[in-house]
Amino acid sequence: MKGTLMTEVRIAPATKSSPPASAAEETPMIQIERLELFYGAKPALKGISMTILKNRVTAFIGPSGCGKSTLLRCLNRMNDLIEGVRIAGSIRVGGADIYAPRTDITALRKRVGMVFQKSNPFPKSIFDNVAYGPRLLGQRGRAALEGIVEKSLRASALWEEVRDRLHESALGLSGGQQQRLCIARAIAVEPDILLMDEPCSALDPIATAKIEELMEELKNRYTIVVVTHNMQQAARASDYTGFLLMGDLVEFGETAKLFTTPGDRRTEDYITGRFG
């Protein structure tokens, strides 16, 4: 299964007329170097270094409290909001250090979109939810907004289900639809990277399958980083997997390899279900 999936990925770019596929093949998107994070005096991430490739799905797995969500939230600086957080090391997105003092956080978060564990549509209409980001960036034109909303909803495979009720409240959607709406809202500002923090943990298997299918689709245009505590999901839906344990990145590599021939004893124990 995994093998065919990887083949498809390699074939896909060849069918497109856009820039040569090989260029995007191994381009680094995010480079993390010796990243450390402290909550007060308590270390939550202990010297993590990794490179996340463009147009790939990278999954972080690990038991609760291992730091996988914390690591994800470093990538769009959502940890800034938490009192007493201190960070050392560097994270570069597309070459630029995002913790440099002059970083424009609004611009960063436009580049690095995020989907949360619990779907969080705003108490507004479906249209206004998707248009929220573009409006923040100053897009006011009705026609332009309509175009963006349709495009984003199509990209998140929600358009056919909601096209007749764009102006009804988003809170009337089902859980799976709400989560896809949040994905549409995140990609409406055309980010380069999409962070997903356990996007399926509150969804049933059918809605989960739809989101995973969507991730496969979306990685052609975005770099996706997903946190999951569901190992099957990581194995199914990601190209690269990082295993974290108590703030350490124990192992990081191609998903197929990590799940079949893990290099570390602790990884093996975790993926075979001996703990966690």
Binders of other proteins among residues 98 to 157 (CB under 8 A) are 105-110, 113-114, 116, 118, 120, 122-124, 132-133, 136-137
Backbone dihedral angles phi then psi of residue 50, each to the nearest 5 degrees: -165, 160
Interior CA angle at 76 toward 230 and 235, to 5°?
20
Determine, following the binding rule CB under 8 A, whether residue 82 of this chain makes contact with other proteins. Answer: no
Determine, following the binding rule CB under 8 A, whether residue 78 of this chain makes contact with other proteins. Answer: yes
We find the least distance from the C-beta atom of residue 166 to other proteins, in angstroms, to be 12
**Cβ 49 vs Cβ 35: under 8 Å:** yes
Binders of other proteins among residues 177 to 216 (CB under 8 A) are 182, 185-186, 189
Nearer to other proteins, 221 or 257 (CB): 221
Among 8, 26, 146, 168, binds other proteins (CB under 8 A): 168
Residues 134-153: b if buried by 16+ CB within 10 A, e if exposed: beeeeeeeeeebeebbbbbb
3-class DSSP state of 173: coil
Angstrom distances, CA of residue 210 to CA of 164, 191, 216: 21, 21, 10
Among 15, 19, 83, 164, binds other proteins (CB under 8 A): 83
Q: By CB under 8 A, which span of 25-33, 35-43, 170-178, 264-272 interacts with other proteins?
A: 170-178
3-class DSSP state of 144: helix
Among 169, 190, 221, 276, binds other proteins (CB under 8 A): 169
Residues 78-89: b if buried by 16+ CB within 10 A, e if exposed: bbeeeeebebeb
**Shortest CA distance to 35 belongs to which of 108, 83, 80, 92?**
92
Q: By CB under 8 A, which span of 162-170, 211-219, 225-233, 268-276 interacts with other proteins?
A: 162-170
Binders of other proteins among residues 29 to 48 (CB under 8 A) are none
Nearer to other proteins, 11 or 136 (CB): 136
We find the least distance from the C-beta atom of residue 76 to other proteins, in angstroms, to be 6
Determine, following the binding rule CB under 8 A, whether residue 170 of this chain makes contact with other proteins. Answer: yes
Q: Strands, DSSP E only, in the chain?
A: 28-39, 42-53, 57-61, 85-93, 96-97, 112-115, 193-197, 223-227, 240-245, 248-254
Binding residues (CB under 8 A) for other proteins: these are 76, 78, 81, 83, 105-110, 113-114, 116, 118, 120, 122-124, 132-133, 136-137, 168-172, 182, 185-186, 189
